[in-house]
Amino acid sequence: MKLFLSATILGLVILGMQSCRKDKVLASNCLTEIKFSTQIKPMLEQHCISCHDASTQPTLIDVQGNVDYNAVSNHANHILNSLTGSGAILMPFGGPALPDSIVSQFSCWISQGKKNN
């Protein structure tokens, strides 16, 4: 009985700790189309281009200072690795990790063919 209670309490503690980390939206739930113009581009504008301008690699903006679809598409896997922490450095640099729902949108956009929509 003590072993059962200890295992149950430990399981609840671990579950509670995990639920505080992120919002747990799975990338495999790509049920709706992700749009570059209304979801990916605004996310990059809010969280990425303040650092990834013309002077920082990968550059994610065009000569007018707008998010560059081609640059994002070409570096999409690298960006995703950085957002998930499986790259060399977790991005956004120095800030908290983005919520899983945002990372999941980016992952879904890639798996849906990185459309310029």
d(CA 61, CA 49): 7
Most confident option among 4-8, 67-71, 85-89 = 67-71
Q: What is the pLDDT of residues 72-110, one digit of tens each?
A: 999 999 999 999 988 778 899 888 899 999 999 999 999
Look at residue 19 and give its three-state secondary structure: helix
Please answer whether residues 52 and 61 qualify as being in contact, where contact means their C-beta atoms are separated by less than 8 angstroms: yes
Q: What is the pLDDT of residues 13-40, one digit of tens each?
A: 333 333 334 444 444 579 999 999 999 9
Domain ranges, ordered by start, for the chain: 24-111
Please state, for a pLDDT cut of 70, what percent of the chain lies above it.
Answer: 76
